[in-house]
Amino acid sequence: MSEVRGSLDGRVAVVLGATGRIGSAVCRALAAAGAEVLMIDRDAERLDALQREPGLGQRVTWVAADPSSQLEVDEARAVAQERYGGVDLLVVASGVVTGSAFEDGVPADWAEMIDVNLRGVLHATQAFADPLLAAARAGRPSDLVLLGALGAHPLSPRFAVFNAISAAVRQLARTLRQEYGPRGLRVRAIELGFVATGFGHLPTGPGGSRRHFPHASESVPPDAIAALVAITAALPAEVNVAELAVTPTTMAAVSQ
């Protein structure tokens, strides 16, 4: 795609939810732009397969960790610190989507979404805050990128809880920007209209039928999102693209 080769030379990126559709595209794009990438996700086999992809190889390593586990994410942070001496780009692309008419909603599904989509983001952000702020303090560009969903989409009235959580993450990004912007850390929210199979790593639940995934009819290609991640990260340190709303062209504008 259109990321500039070499634009992220010397950057160390960590991608949570690296084996999902968008996560893997982000890894490819960041590596292509010259960053070292530490890929984090639950499934070691899929991580390994991803690393073996041609063109990724040398630039990426991985750690298997459950993005919703504070301890495992923190241990992944320790690995990153040890391998690369620091981290200056964190992309949180992990998330699960389940939906149904609200009165039919399964509380366990809500709990899982809260765990992964909200608690996971909180843990990851907290765990990596130290190295990200350290890079910012050193005057280097440093990015915290939260990939989220555009809420209140006309196609998704059945995703009330998911949308509520997405809104929480959006608020988190806005507030963290107030807190960390002055300290040189660029907090960025990239929000998408629904993409083919949701975003990030989608675990298949038992029975499967319980889960309702968004329509696949119109979506933004993952590569395009990945390119945006790489391009915005490559901007000069004093510029932050704070929020991006990315939709298929045909989709109606979204109010937030």
Partner 1 sequence: MTAAVVGRERGVRSLAATGRRLRRTPEAIRGAVVLLSATLVALVWANLPGAGYDAFWHLPLGIQAGGLELELDLRHWVNEALMAFFFALLTLEVRREIELGELRDWRRASVPLVAAVAGLVLPALLYVWVTWATDAVVGWGIVVSTDTAFVLGLLALVGRAMPASLRVFLVTLAVADDVGALGVIAFAYTDDFDPAPLLLVAAGLGAIAAMRFLRVWRGPVYLLPSAVVWLGFLLSGVHATLAGVAIAALLPIFATRHEDVRRAHDQVRAFQMTPSAEHARTAEESLARAVSINERAHRALAPYVAWLILPVFALANAGVPVTPQSLADAFGSPLTWGIIAGLVVGKAVAISLSAWAATRLRLGALAPGLRLSHVVGVSLLSGMGFTISLFVADLAFDDPVDVGRAQLGVLAASTLAAVLGAVAFAVLNRRERRLAPDPGRLVRPLDPERDHVLGDPSLAVVGVVAYGDFATPFAPRADEMRQEMRRRFGSRVAFTLRHHAAGQPFGRAAALATEAAARQGLFWEMHDALVGEAPIEAETQLRRAAARAGLNLRRFERDLASSAGATRVDEDFADAAAMQLRQAPTYFIDGRRYDGPIDAESLIGAVRTRAEAVRSGGDHPKGYRGGPSSSRSS
Contact status: 111 vs partner 1 (CB under 8 A) = no
Residue linked to tokens 């990030």: 200
CA 232 to chain centre: 14
> What is the C-alpha separation between 154 and 136, in angstroms, rounded?
39
What is the Cα–Cα distance from 146 to 157, expressed in whole angstroms? Answer: 23
CA pair distance 46, 36, nearest whole angstrom = 19
The answer to whether residue 53 forms part of the interface with partner 1 (CB under 8 A) is no
Pick the piece of the chain touching partner 1 (CB under 8 A) from 68-76, 79-87, 147-155, 203-211: 68-76
| Residue 81 touching partner 1 (CB under 8 A) | no
- 65 is a site residue for partner 1 (CB under 8 A): no
130 binds partner 1 (CB under 8 A): yes
- Helix 70-84 to helix 120-137 angle (10° resolution) is 30
Q: How many residues bind partner 1 (CB under 8 A)?
A: 7
Q: What is the DSSP string of 15-64?
A: EETTTSHHHHHHHHHHHHTT-EEEEEES-HHHHHHHHHSTTTGGGEEEEE
Nearer to partner 1, 2 or 126 (CB): 126
Phi-psi region at 195: left, alpha or beta (left = phi > 0; alpha = psi -120 to 50): beta
Q: Choose which of 16, 32, 63, 127 interacts with partner 1 (CB under 8 A).
A: 127
Q: Smallest gap, in angstroms, from Cβ of residue 129 to partner 1?
A: 8
Q: Between 134 and 251, whose beta carbon lies closer to partner 1? A: 134
74 binds partner 1 (CB under 8 A): yes
Q: Which is nearer to partner 1, 176 or 245 (CB)?
A: 176
State the nearest-atom distance from the C-beta of 75 to partner 1, in Å: 8
User: Which residue has tokens 């062209």?
Assistant: 249
Q: Which of 7, 61, 69, 81 binds partner 1 (CB under 8 A)?
A: 69
Please report, as ranges, the residues that interact with partner 1 according to CB under 8 A.
69-71, 74, 126-127, 130
